[in-house]
Amino acid sequence: MAQEESMELCWDGAGAPGKLGIMVCGHGSRNPKAVAEFARLTKGLGRLLPHHPMAYGYLEFAHPIISAGLDRLRSAGVERVVAVPGMLFAAGHVKNDIPALLNHYSAATGLPISYGRELGIDARMVRAAAARIAAALPRETSGEPGDPMGQDTMLVVVGRGSRDPDANGNVAKITRMLVEGLGLGWGETCYAGVTFPQVEEGLRRIVGLGYGRIVVFPYFLFSGVLVSRIYRAVDQVAADYPQLDIRKATYLSDHPLVLDTFRARAQEALEGNNAMNCALCKYRTQVLGFESEKGAPQQSHHHHHEGLGEPCNLCPGDCTGACEEDVKAKVHAHSHHH
């Protein structure tokens, strides 16, 4: 999966490539499991869009890079491309990094590229998330409003975390829709990085609210270091509060409704209905606290990391993130030495 040659294209029923290709643009990870999961998702999407060649690529930390995926589509005879960001919400990667790379490639090659929008707030995504959460709940929980089992359950949705308040706010909206839709007692939103509250801090405050069960759901597409970090934080808090029923739900992965949302985003771009919601975009309007970023140029800094990094082999299979603590300990010891 780490080599460009392993990338597959999806052909139409006649065995010949179509004129329009689909490009799925991911972030990339040093975690082999995350890279494999992304590849599996694109294959699933290919089965929903069988009449168009399909490729994928990453911004950083993994192969193939985005430009290599586009090269593969051009080699297949594609004359125009619909590029879909393989990301949940529109923050810096979706608004700046990916379109900057696509614009540069289109200008250099003459290949027309239409850009789809992020998965975003979508009823299909909410239902996919609800399915993952329901799988972590006891069977006797009905999921209906007023159910006593549900009313004693606290849902904690964990987002990636960003410097874009609009993207962070969308995670909080997902939390609210899930809590009301599943009939749970309460809901809180935490983040894996960049913004606040982060997972362990948030959980330690949440346990004081008195709920008998806490379900932690990483609102992530794939595995990776951040999901491992979330689960480690849950384990640490659960060890300190053994009387509580603290459960870990599975991230979204290639749930059929996630694939259907990707298909819809590609279709929107084909039909020209792919406009993002720019009402609270900090690059287009003066968002409170981010006024200086209005009108900032659209550019990518990820070319410094394109394709960098061999897959980490310290952990068998999925990354546990355990080496993070070793690195922190070494930095701490080093700082005291000086």
Domain boundary among 206, 232, 248: 248
Q: What percentage of the chain exceeds 70 in pLDDT?
A: 77
> What pLDDT, on a 0 to 100 scale, did the predictor assign at position 55?
97
- Residue 13 and residue 103 share a domain: yes
- Residue 179 and residue 80 share a domain: no
> What pLDDT, on a 0 to 100 scale, did the predictor assign at position 306?
66
- Residue 216 and residue 159 share a domain: yes
- Residue 185 and residue 296 share a domain: no
Lowest mean pLDDT among 25-29, 120-124, 181-185, 281-285: 281-285
What whole-number distance in Å separates Cα of residue 213 and Cα of residue 246?
6
Give yes or no for residue 71 having a pLDDT over 60. Answer: yes
237 Cβ contact partners less than 8 Å away, ≥ 6 residues apart: 200, 203, 204, 207, 246
What whole-number distance in Å separates Cα of residue 84 and Cα of residue 118?
7
> What pLDDT, on a 0 to 100 scale, did the predictor assign at position 282?
64
Average pLDDT of the chain to the nearest whole number: 85
Peptide linkage before 297 cis (omega within 30 of 0): no
Query: Does the residue 67 lie in any domain?
Result: yes
Contact 303, 85 (CB under 8 A): no
- Residue 158 and residue 80 share a domain: no
Query: Does the residue 313 lie in any domain?
Result: no
Query: Does the residue 315 lie in any domain?
Result: no
- Tell me which residue range forms the domain holding 158: 123-248
- Residue 73 and residue 35 share a domain: yes
| Total number of domains in the chain | 2
Q: Where are the beta strands (DSSP E) in the chain?
A: 20-26, 54-58, 80-85, 113-115, 153-159, 186-191, 213-218, 245-248
Query: Does the residue 312 lie in any domain?
Result: no
> What pLDDT, on a 0 to 100 scale, did the predictor assign at position 297?
76
- Residue 237 and residue 128 share a domain: yes
Q: pTM score, two decimals?
A: 0.83
Query: Does the residue 21 lie in any domain?
Result: yes
CATH code, domain with 108: 3.40.50.1400
Contact 213, 184 (CB under 8 A): no
Contact 116, 265 (CB under 8 A): yes
Q: Give me the mean pLDDT over the 234-241 stretch.
A: 98
Query: Does the residue 326 lie in any domain?
Result: no
- Residue 261 and residue 181 share a domain: no
Question: SS3 string of 306-322?
Answer: CCCCCCCCCCCCCCCCC
Q: Give me the mean pLDDT over the 318-337 stretch.
A: 52
Give yes or no for residue 289 having a pLDDT over 90. Answer: no
Higher-confidence residue of 279 and 211: namely: 211
Higher-confidence residue of 145 and 289: namely: 289
Residue 127: how many other CB atoms lie within 10 Å:
18
Domain boundary among 248, 264, 282: 248
- Residue 263 and residue 236 share a domain: no
306 Cβ contact partners less than 8 Å away, ≥ 6 residues apart: 59, 60, 65, 66, 67
Lowest mean pLDDT among 52-66, 95-109, 234-248, 324-338: 324-338
- Residue 295 and residue 205 share a domain: no
Residue type for position 203: L
- Residue 236 and residue 129 share a domain: yes
Q: Give me the mean pLDDT over the 4-18 stretch.
A: 39
> What pLDDT, on a 0 to 100 scale, did the predictor assign at position 308?
61
Local confidence band at 142 (pLDDT 50, 70, 90 cut-offs): low
